[in-house]
Every structure is written in C-alpha cells, then in structure tokens.
Amino acid sequence: MTQLINQTAVITGAGRGIGQAIALKLASAGADVVCVDLKAEFCDETVQKAMSLGRKAWGVAANVSDAASVESASEQILAAAGKVDILVNNAGITKDGLLMRMSEADWDAVLDINLKGTFLFTKAFVRSFLKQRSGRIINIASVIGLIGNAGQCNYGASKAGVIGFTKSSARELASRGITVNAIAPGFIETAMTAKLGQDVREALMKQIPLGSLGQPDDVADAVLFLAGPGARYITGQVISVDGGMAM
C-alpha cells in the first residue's frame, strides 16, 4: 500500500496498544511516523517496527497534558519533519471509580490527558495545517463517550468532550481543507482492558453484538481510512469501532 507515501503522521501514545497499531498501520501505507509518548524510548519498539517497513520513524517525548511540553515537542517535530499531514490524538488513560468516591485528582488527571491533551496537540499543529491548507486530524474517543458507563464518569466526560471538540474544530477548520474526525472504539484488547476481571469481561461480552473484544488493528484500519484519500469528503464524524455496542 502506498496511499500515504510522502506524508508524515504524528501519533500520540504510540508506545503501545492502539497507538502502536495506528503508527504501524500508517507506516505500512507509506507514511513516515513520529511516535509520541511520555519518554521517547517508550516508542523504541514501534519505531524499530516502522523502520523495518521501510519508513522514516522516530520517537519524541511529550506529556500531552502539559502545554510547554507539547509546544517544545511540536517545534521539534516540525523542524525535523518539515511538514505534518496527519495528527492522531490517541494518548489516553483511565482512573475508574464510583462517582461518590472519585477524587478530584482522578477527575483532573483523566480530563487533562484525554481532553486537554487533544486540545493542546491539535492547537500545536493547527497553524501549520492552516498554512498548507490541508491536514487530517483523527481523535480517539470511546464508546463510553457515547453511551456512558458506571464507574467511568471522568473517562466518559473526557471522551464526550473529545467528540464535542472534534465537531467544533471540524466546523472551524473545514474551509481550509482540514478534516477532523473521531473514532469511538469499544472494548479493545490492550493493557487498558487487560486489567478487567473475568466476570467484567463476560458481562461486557454480552453487550457486544459481534461477540468478541476488538483488536488494536481494528481501530488502526479505521484511522487509515480517515487518513487516506477515500475520506477526503468526511469531516466532523464519529466512527464507532465497537462490534455494534453503541448502535
């Protein structure tokens, strides 16, 4: 596949899980990939694998929730890459707990990384997208942002926020040829879901019409579509990759 040849993609939280799958999927379609994580070395595995696909790839350290860190990372990325074509805001965390017992710190941490992180990273690249009059921004939301989940008020609010941010920024940037879309994954097999107990998994399975957890590659395939030429005329949308959970 060569549909993304000569394009550069920036993926946050690319060290593992869904972010790693996205980076490798875009690299296999021809894109050079900038892998962002809390420490550059967390991306070593992703970078090695992307390079073995024949692409340029490198790791950059940034805490997506810290404005100064994001600014310095974006300057570094634009200086090294010359231009960025695709931004995937994927970094995210959970800090689950019942509302009554949820600490302010756990609320703030999840909102800061999942929602503010998406805002900060988008803002950091928007000027260059505006100048080049093109750009694909893909935000990783969640089925929980659409249908909610007990014990995930912070996470659900952050991901619903990502969806609102996606639609507003899509409207703001559309006239300059920049598209902004979100993907709402359901339950995907990664470190984030590995911590779920067997009973929770079985209960979850009953809510998934297709009857199994998704794989990181299922999300990456949707990102590839939104980043590619076939999605030229799509903006402000939320694509569910959830085995039918939210239908």
Total binding residues for ligand NAP by CB under 6 A? 28
The verdict on 34 binding ligand NAP (CB under 6 A) reads no
One of 59, 92, 156, 228 touching ligand NAP (CB under 6 A): 92
Contacts 24+ apart (CB under 8 A), 78-82: 78/125, 78/128, 80/34, 81/8, 81/32, 81/34, 82/8
The verdict on 19 binding ligand NAP (CB under 6 A) reads yes
- Cβ nearer to ligand NAP, comparing 6 with 212: 212
Helical packing angle, 216-227 and 17-28, nearest 10° = 50
The verdict on 58 binding ligand NAP (CB under 6 A) reads no
Q: How far apart are CA 86 and CA 83, in angstroms?
A: 10
**Which region among 91-99, 121-129, 202-210, 224-232 touches ligand NAP (by CB under 6 A)?**
91-99
Whole-number minimum distance, CB 237 to ligand NAP, in Å? 16
CA atoms within 13 A on the CB side of 175: 3
Q: How far apart are CA 156 and CA 135, in angstroms?
A: 27
One of 7, 10, 11, 15 touching ligand NAP (CB under 6 A): 15
Q: How far apart are CA 85 and CA 97, in angstroms?
A: 38
In the complex, which residues of this chain contact ligand NAP (CB under 6 A)?
A: 12-13, 15-19, 37-38, 42, 62-65, 90-93, 113, 140, 142, 185, 187-188, 190-193
